[in-house]
Amino acid sequence: MTDLLRVQGISKTFGGLTALQDVSFGVQAGEILGLIGPNGAGKTTLFNVVNGFYRPTRGEVYFKEEKISSYKPHRICKLGIGRTFQVVKPLQRMSVLDNVLASAFLRAGNKTQARERALELLHFTGLYEDRDMISKGLPLGKRKRLELTRALATQPQLLLLDESFAGLNPTEINELMTIIREIRARGTTIMIIEHHMKVIMSISDRIVVLNFGLKIAEGTPREIGSNALVIEAYLGEAQSA
Amino acid sequence: MKKYLPFIILALLFLVPLVGLSSYVMHILILVLIYSLIGMGWNLLGGFCGQVSFGHASFFGVGAYTAGILYAKLGWSSWWGLPLSLLVVLAFSLVIGFICLRLRGPYFALATLAMGEVLRVTAENLNQWTGGDVGILLRERTWVSKIWYYYIILLLAVGAFVLIKKVMESKWGYYFVSIREDQDAAESLGIPTTAYKTLALCLSGALTGLAGAFYMNYMGYIDPKVVFALHDISIVTIMVVMVGGVATYWGPLVGALIMVLLAELIRSNPGLGAAHQTLFGVLLIFIIIFLPNGIVGDFRKIVKLFRPGRSG
């Protein structure tokens, strides 16, 4: 089976700092791939490389067999990769609907179509009632959902979610998990960065673990849960634990 | 009522000259419309798209010199400057955009500031084209009466207003505002930000250049210090939009009205004349602190202020 996204030998250095070192893995169409690792492991850097904000120092990124590592973010988005940000970046002084509308234009022929698409998505993510709110005024949980809705409006085949669950309460977490499963059921492949272990273990089909810029493990949640290297990275060395 | 307000204002603007106003009042009205047109141009780029320019005098000057050079060097009517300045300024904006739009925020602002000054000095020294400091003088103006000039600039301003409204309600407008709010987010949502910033710059420059070409025809005289003026064009334009309301449709008109009247008021008072820059500065501080969205943007706040009883 060919991978939808293939990350091949990616290294990224910032001056003398190596953020990613020779990282390779694939994302298969239709799966939810979890990306975990301690703080500073290089997860967001990896997203920025896939998404086109950073050019990798070495290595290539392939999406649908096309080499995308030199493309600009907007072109990568047009090809079918959408993303959300860890620090939410809603377009603050625009209403919720306008936020989603602006991204729906990417694949809509005209404003009417874009509007229909946006309203449909706002129903789906449960923000319909808040559509006329200025996004600055939304609580964090809803702002995170707005980010997700906005990314969905570009109709991605691959969706990159950067800590969409951070700072949410248990009810919001459950709602969001339902939404993400539904997005996958509708045919979108998902790669997700998450610190919340319960969420990542239950939602992911496979997990890739990064530590200090290196890939230290890859496998099903069960395999990862019992992997000695992973336990060491998270809990420290065996004798001190 | 609110729905008809634009049409009432438009009708008033069209009927005003028929009352038989003095030549001085007509001149003031024409100045107001010139500054609203520049303000609308600036607002498109600075207000809606978030790319603050401190050098809009360059577009104004390039427009004015297009008309002036056509007249002085080729012997054409300077009115050809209106359509041709569009082409010249568009080409100029593409070059400027290519250089300056790689920069963000304050760096873009500084680059545009430098651009305005560079053009002024260039125009002062390109004697064989611009006449240097001597400037370009139309030997005779098309009309003695101001009424036709008024209608022409009114038409241009109304056209710019309608164009901006149409643009802002379309995909372009949504993209411009997205870029203003967060360029990285916009980029990752599939918006080619560089291309759309260049587009905003071209539209904005074209409107400003048009105002410059009209200015040449109306005033009959330009020199580099007048049309590439940092204070009287670049900075005053920003003030017009700030006072009227950044990223509002009516802001530039309201701001231009206030700024032009204020400038005339100060100038007609001999004791204050020299202090007009100071007073503009004080006004700007007042606006930023109390009405950050300008008079149009914070209109509700102002209304409340004058109805203390009902404000709650």
Q: pLDDT averaged over chain B?
A: 92
Convert B256-289 to b/e letters by CB count within 10 Å (16 or more is b).
Answer: bbbbbebbeebeeeeeeeeebeeebeebeeebee
Using DSSP bridges, classify how beta strands A189-193 and A158-162 pair: parallel, antiparallel or unpaired: parallel
pTM above 0.90, yes or no: yes
CB under 8 A, 24+ apart: contacts of A11-14: A11/A56, A11/A57, A11/A58, A11/A59, A12/A42, A12/A45, A12/A49, A12/A54, A12/A56, A12/A57, A12/A213, A13/A57
Domains of chain B and any CATH numbers: 5-305 (1.10.3470)
| Contact state of B187 with A74 under an 8 Å Cβ cutoff | yes
Number of domains chain A contains: 1
pLDDT in tens, B215-247: 999 999 999 999 999 988 999 999 999 999 999
pLDDT in tens, B137-190: 998 888 888 999 999 999 999 999 999 999 999 999 999 999 999 999 999 999
| Contact state of A91 with B181 under an 8 Å Cβ cutoff | yes
Q: What is the CATH number of the domain that holds A58?
A: 3.40.50.300
pLDDT in tens, B261-279: 998 888 888 777 677 778 8
| Contact state of A102 with B188 under an 8 Å Cβ cutoff | no
In a domain, A207, yes or no: yes
Least confident span in A56-70, A207-221, B275-289: B275-289
Whether the predicted pLDDT of A1 surpasses 80: no
Q: What percent of chain B has pLDDT over 70?
A: 97
In a domain, A74, yes or no: yes
A47 CA: distance to closest CA in chain B (Å): 11
In a domain, A126, yes or no: no
Domain, as residue range, for A57: 3-88+155-235
In a domain, A47, yes or no: yes
pLDDT in tens, A158-209: 999 999 898 899 999 999 999 999 999 999 999 999 988 889 999 999 999 9
**Average pLDDT of span A149-154:** 95
Beta-carbon pairs below 8 A across chains A and B: 75
Whether the predicted pLDDT of B70 surpasses 80: yes
**Average pLDDT of span A57-75:** 95
Q: Which of residues 148-177 of B touch A (CB under 8 A)?
A: 169-171, 174-175, 177
In a domain, A39, yes or no: yes
pLDDT-derived band of residue B302, with 50, 70 and 90 as boundaries? Answer: confident
In a domain, A72, yes or no: yes
| Contact state of B184 with A72 under an 8 Å Cβ cutoff | no
Using the Cβ of A79 and the Cβ atoms of chain B, whether some distance falls under 8 Å is answered with: no
- What pLDDT, on a 0 to 100 scale, did the predictor assign at position A39? 87
CA distance B236 to B33: 14
- What pLDDT, on a 0 to 100 scale, did the predictor assign at position B238? 94
Please name the residue of chain B whose CA is at the shortest distance from the CA of residue A47. B188
In a domain, A106, yes or no: no
- What pLDDT, on a 0 to 100 scale, did the predictor assign at position A26? 96
In a domain, A240, yes or no: no
